[in-house]
Chains A and B, each alone.
Chain A
Amino acid sequence: NAGVTQTPKFQVLKTGQSMTLQCAQDMNHNSMYWYRQDPGMGLRLIYYSASEGTTDKGEVPNGYNVSRLNKREFSLRLESAAPSQTSVYFCASSEGEGGTQYFGPGTRLLVL
């Protein structure tokens, strides 16, 4: 089992460019999540999907969109990147309430 995989591992964008971060899990989990990690701020939830076909906003959704393509895949899109979106992005999945979240290795994004 690969667990949770994320692509790309590292990306540099110019302000205004768009990109999609990909995430896939092979554990048949119902729930998937996108977080961003910034120094001194812990992890903050951007969007989550409690089950296939549903998505909801987290703490910091502005500037992002998501798609739960199927049960395995949950993508995060930046339509017009801004320097404030420079961060490390983590995808995670779990069985749901009370379940352990399993994290991917992260995507390091730099917006110039």
Chain B
Amino acid sequence: AQSVTQLDSQVPVFEEAPVELRCNYSSSVSVYLFWYVQYPNQGLQLLLKYLSGSTLVESINGFEAEFNKSQTSFHLRKPSVHISDTAEYFCAVSELGDNQGGKLIFGQGTELSVKP
């Protein structure tokens, strides 16, 4: 069965510092990988995803994640964070070809807190 582990429940960081949010997954088949972000009192929204092709994927607001098949990881990075990046971040996995409508398994979430 597939599973997702986010290694840090909380990550405090100062504004303009770099940040990495770690995500590892386990699955016996090929997967799609996602990062979602949840701002306070809102639903989740997609940040970026890996389906195929280049293992480095980027979002429009400066985040990037790299799919590492050998280490079964999909860590999220940003070279310089802003106060507005304060949110909870969720890593998720979906298995290819499972005929299950693209259902996602989520990690436990990482709270990113950016301090001035």
**Contact surface of A with B, Cβ cutoff 8 Å:** 4, 30-31, 33, 35, 40-45, 48-51, 56, 58-59, 90, 92, 94-101, 103-106
Contacts and interface: CB of A to CB of B under 8 A. Distances in A.
A43 B103 contact: no
A37 to B, nearest CB: 9
Contacts, number: 79
Interface string B75-115: 00000000000000010001011111111111111000000
Interface centre among B43, B100, B107, B109 (most CB of A within 10 A): B43
Given A40-B9, A42-B108, A98 B102 contact: yes
A66 to B, nearest CB: 13
Given A40-B108, A41-B108, A105-B43, A98 B94 contact: yes
Contacts of A59: 105
B42 interface: yes
A106 B43 contact: yes
Given A48-B100, A103-B45, 11 more contacts: A4-B43, A31-B102, A45-B103, A48-B101, A48-B103, A96-B102, A97-B97, A98-B102, A101-B36, A101-B44, A101-B104
Interface residues of B, number: 28
A60 to B, nearest CB: 12
A46 to B, nearest CB: 11
B107 to A, nearest CB: 6
Contacts of B63: none
Contacts of B32: 97-98
A56 B106 contact: no
A42 B44 CA distance: 11
B51 interface: yes
